Amino acid sequence: MNETPKPIAGTASYLDDRLGAGSFLKRNLRKVFPDHWSFLLGEIALYSFIILLLTGTFLTFWFKPSMQHVIYDGSYQPLVGVGMSEAYASTLHISFEVRGGLLIRQMHHWAALLFVAGMTVHMLRVFFTGAYRKPRELNWIIGVLLLTLALAEGLTGYSLPDDLLSGAGLRITEGVAISIPVVGTYITFFLFGGEYPGEDVISRFYSLHILLIPGILLALISAHMVLMWVQKHTQMPGPGRTEHNVVGAPFYPAFMAKAGAYFLFTFACIAGLGTFAQINPIWLFGPYTPADISAGSQPDWYMGFLEGALRLMPSWEINFLDHTVPLSVLIPALVPMGIIMTGLAVYPFAEQWITGDRREHHLADRPRNAPVRTAIGMSGVTFYGILWLMGANDWISAYFHIGLYETTIIGRFAIFIGPAIAYWVTYRICLGLQRRDQDILSHGVESGVIKRLPHGEYIEVHVPPAEDIAEHMRGKKEIPIVPGDEDKDGIPPKGVRGPIGKLRAKASKFYGTDHVPLDGHGHDGHDEHAAVGASDKPRELH
């Protein structure tokens, strides 16, 4: 078997003769991909997207995006004779009369939930490890766009079956759109083809959902992949890993096979969920009518934070000169989303401005080693999480026997206090973990061996940490600080002059100051055999 098999060699040479693929393959077949469990999170989103394309195409074969009124005469007995839209009737048809239709429908819905979930955790991974830093800012922006588009894609898809639950979502969408000052009424009339609900919105959402948005998603995902390929993946600090290399397994064959296996695994999970976990049983909800709603209505999880924001908001509304600004709708619909998405988009550039760091970064940060960033991230997560929880405050109230209004009032305070607490707690945890790293590096790890010294003292022998652990810890990078000290004439350096410059210098110092340097030693007077407990002397940090 030392010869290349003929079909493979033949194909390769056929393609190379025509495409000149050889030089590309020579460079890329063995492209190295670093390994870390957290690098798989984005792949969940990628594979879910592929599954969404496959299952979605299947659904289009039967789905009729029409709001034409029909009388149901299909095989689901409880609804026979009931008037409904053709969209709802065809969704029932897919569910009950197409073999595998229900399975594919449920898989499509589960894949959508997993798609956004995968993107979200992937985004958190990139954020907390600082993998968005130069040169990857553009890919980060693409990611933020992808996340926003995924929400729009979810919203348009969720509305298509035209059942009572999805109609509630559509009604809320309309209420939000019409609240926009100046143009809201026009936007609504154009979107719905007149007054709500009209007869156009399903077919319009349909073309957005199956053509426009997925087309843009596909293009952006491709760009995301190409940039990742060109820039090479970041890696976690460890033995032999530097800013100038990449250590791991080659694309061909190992990474390719792993990625294939992971795709199949994601597919299997979605198939399993589609089989055993019922989702969106639209036949139980009935057809949409604007006159009815069921209590406890919940959107898909990724819309929960907007729903929670709407629920938290007090009833503010401004009337002036015969015009109305419904703040109780506008603020919750636009502000949290604006804070989160804009915050994400500008973060890499804000950080660069604050730290003055224009270097390329290919070694990922451990979250603890950038405590301010991690704390900001966690307070963002808390902000989002509280809104998300409040999107289900009626369920919380019912399950935990808390008054409904109390949950809202608690939420109104928690949305401000929660992120602040999260910031502080995270910051302290980061410093604590850094201190632990410092301790292990300077002091070794507990070996479990207890030794009695000649004068009677018992100590636990500490041994140096394993090389890979030590290297992982030594991967800590200092965060640069913009020089802000005034020179002897009292003139601050360029870039930190004026009020904004002063703010920058302050922020930079706050952001970059390393309170627990790795080579700092809090263990004076002790060798590596020092007793447990003796190393816990309080150290001055600030």
Question: Based on CB atoms, which residue is closest to other proteins, 256 or 459?
Answer: 256
Indicate the SS3 state at residue 163.
strand
- Interaction of residue 231 with other proteins, rule CB under 8 A: yes
Residues 253, 257, 262, CA angle at the centre, nearest 5°?
155
Q: Which of residues 28-57 bind other proteins (CB under 8 A)?
A: 29-32
Whole-number Å distance between alpha carbons of 295 and 151: 24
16 binds other proteins (CB under 8 A): no
Residue 98: DSSP 8-state? S
- 13 lies in the binding site for other proteins (CB under 8 A): no
Cβ nearer to other proteins, comparing 77 with 487: 77
Residues 232, 474, 506, 523: which binds other proteins (CB under 8 A)?
Answer: 232
9 binds other proteins (CB under 8 A): yes
Give CA separation, 474 vs 76, 278, 366, 369, 439, in Å.
Answer: 64, 48, 11, 11, 12
- Least Å distance, CB 333 to other proteins, is 9
Please give the backbone phi and psi of residue 460, each rounded to the nearest 5 degrees, phi first. Answer: -100, 130
Stretch that binds other proteins, among 153-161, 236-244, 371-379, 458-466 (CB under 8 A): 236-244
Residues 394, 399, 405, 406, CA torsion sign: negative
The structure tokens listed for 114 are: 């997993």
Contact segment (CB under 8 A) with other proteins among 123-131, 291-299, 377-385, 458-466 equals 291-299
The yes or no reply on residue 118 touching other proteins (CB under 8 A) is no
Residue 168 engages other proteins in binding (rule: CB under 8 A): yes
Cα–Cα distance measured from residue 435 to residue 501, given in angstroms and rounded to the nearest whole number: 32
Q: Which of 68, 69, 73, 502 binds other proteins (CB under 8 A)?
A: 69
Restricting to residues 339-398, which ones interact with other proteins according to CB under 8 A? 360, 362, 393-394
- Single residue of 57, 60, 68, 289 touching other proteins by CB under 8 A: 289
Residues 88-117 that bind other proteins (CB under 8 A): 95-103, 106-107
Give me the residue label for tokens 């069921």.
294
Q: Does 86 bind other proteins (CB under 8 A)?
A: no
Based on CB atoms, which residue is closest to other proteins, 225 or 257? 257
Total of chain residues touching other proteins, rule CB under 8 A:
125
Q: How far apart are CA 294 and CA 344, in angstroms?
A: 35
> What single letter denotes the amino acid at residue 463?
V
* Residues 125-154 as x/- pattern, contact with other proteins by CB under 8 A: ----------x-------------------
Residue 230 exposed, middle or buried by CB count within 10 Å (0-12, 13-18, 19+): exposed
- Tally Cβ neighbours within 10 Å of residue 398: 14
The alpha helices in 360-466, defined as continuous H runs, are 371-390, 393-400, 404-443
Nearer to other proteins, 312 or 364 (CB): 312
Closer residue to other proteins, CB minimum distance, 267 or 526: 267
